[in-house]
Amino acid sequence: MSEVGAALRDAAARLAAVSDTPRLDAELLMAHALGIERQALLLDPPRFAVPGDFAALIDRRMGHEPVGYIVGYRDFWTIRVTVGPGVLIPRPDSETLIEAALAHVEDREAPLHILDLGTGPGTLLLALLSELPEAAGLGVDASAEALAFARRNAGELQMQDRAIFREGDWTDGVAGQFDLILCNPPYIADTEQLMPDVADHEPAGALFAGPDGLDDYRRIIPDLPRLLAPGGVAILEIGASQLISVSTLAEAAGFSVGCRRDLGGRDRALLLTRA
């Protein structure tokens, strides 16, 4: 076994105590320390020597610091999203919203107007714009820190002319109508226990939403009818056990409701269309 291979094996064994994906974490941290892509590392590990700062990166991960914060990015859909402390790290489950949005608009030819509520580092909006070159959109977030990441990501992806970001409290002050509305709001109940890498590092304001996790849905959904263009769809991420409760709120606001499951088979994306 090569020096790098042995280091990866030993690191993965350590990280198994704190991570559900210890080998992946070790590979991402090794690639970061080497200044290369993970794919290059996996193609030919013996050509590399273990960098001196690899052990320190593993120690940081052993302290439950998220890999995304350590390496400074998270790959999502087909884009790379720059992240750091103060911003929610994109999750693979959220790609379900992108799949649902693209399926809804696959036959549309006119340029689309997209709204991303709670945009964070711009994840959902920029992923969709990467697939829809004629589309433009608005991302809204209450966090100036998150919006700084969003604007940086738009620039790095050369989408700054199509993605506008502004600070705001959900739909307050948002005008016009949108063909696609995306929203991944906080939906975790205040009393729910999270893994330390989430609870101790990621912003609580992007995670928790009252005693039942529904506080932000109660604020957002009633205002969506005025913002959704005819033929449009609003797609909300939900927790795996929230289909009935959030659907009830949406139906009360006059929407027809559908649901798309993530790759794990869990209810994940709620699709709201005009009833």
Q: Is 191 annotated as a binding residue?
A: no
Q: Which of 272, 226, 211 shows the shortest CA–CA distance to 247?
A: 272
Torsion angle of alpha carbons 270, 80, 208, 104, nearest 10°? -10
User: 42-70 burial, b for 16+ CB within 10 Å, e for fewer?
Assistant: eeebeebebbeebeebbeebeeebbbbbb
The percent of residues in the chain predicted with pLDDT above 90, rounded, is 93
Instruction: Confirm whether residue 120 is marked as ligand binding.
Output: yes
Q: What is the pLDDT of residues 12-56, one digit of tens each?
A: 999 999 999 999 999 999 999 999 999 999 999 999 999 999 999
Q: Is the same domain home to 24 and 144? A: no
User: Does residue 77 have a known ligand-binding role?
Assistant: no
**With 80 as the cut, is the pLDDT of residue 275 above it?**
no
155: in domain: yes
Mean pLDDT (whole number) for 186-193: 92
- Number of domain units in the chain: 2
Q: Would the annotation count 170 as a binding residue?
A: yes
pLDDT at residue number 107: 77
122 is in an annotated binding site: yes
Cβ 65 vs Cβ 78: under 8 Å = no
Structural domain of residue 43, as residue ranges? Answer: 3-63
Q: Indicate if the pLDDT at residue 1 is higher than 70.
A: no
Q: Give the amino acid at 6.
A: A
Residue 74 falls inside a structural domain = no
What CATH number should be reported for the domain holding residue 131? 3.40.50.150
Residues 238, 143, single domain; the answer is yes
Distance CA 173, CA 193 (A): 34
Tell me which of 111 and 155 has the higher pLDDT.
155
Q: CATH no. for residue 8?
A: 1.10.8
- Is 186 annotated to bind a ligand? Reply is yes
Instruction: Kindly list the strands in the beta sheet with 163-167, ordered across the sheet, starting from the edge strand earlier in the chain.
Output: 163-167, 136-141, 113-117, 178-183, 228-237, 267-274, 255-261
Q: Are residues 39 and 100 in the same domain?
A: no
- Whether residue 110 lies inside any domain: the answer is yes
104-149 pLDDT per residue, tens: 998 777 789 999 999 999 999 999 999 999 999 999 999 999 999 9
Q: Tell me, yes or no, whether 213 lies in a domain.
A: yes
For residue 102, tell me if it sits in a domain: yes
Same domain, 17 and 113: no
pTM as predicted: 0.95
Integer angstrom CA distances of residue 245 from 89, 140, 239:
26, 25, 10
Query: Which of 63, 78, 98 finishes a domain?
Result: 63
Tokens of 260: 């798309």
The answer to the question of whether 82 is labelled as a binding residue is: no
Give yes or no: residues 57 and 189 share one domain.
no
Predicted confidence (pLDDT) at residue 230 exceeds the cutoff of 80: yes
Tell me if 267 is assigned to a ligand binding site.
no
pLDDT interval class at 202 (50, 70, 90): very high
Is 264 marked as a binding-site residue?
no
pLDDT digits (tens, 9 = 90+) for 77-116: 999 999 999 999 999 999 999 999 999 998 777 789 999 9
Average pLDDT of the chain is 96
Q: Where are the alpha helices (DSSP H) in the chain?
A: 3-15, 22-34, 38-43, 54-62, 67-71, 95-105, 123-131, 144-156, 196-199, 215-220, 243-252
With contact defined as beta carbons under 8 Å apart, do 269 and 246 qualify? no
- Do 256 and 154 sit in the same domain of this protein? yes
Based on the fold, state whether residues 92 and 58 are members of the same structural domain. Answer: no
Distance CA 156, CA 145 (A): 17
pLDDT score of 191 = 87
Ligand-binding annotation for 230, yes or no, is no
Write down the pLDDT at residue 220.
98
User: What is residue 106's predicted lDDT score, i.e. its pLDDT?
Assistant: 84
Same structural domain, 146 and 259: yes
Note the maximum CA span of the chain: 62
Specify the pLDDT at position 119.
98
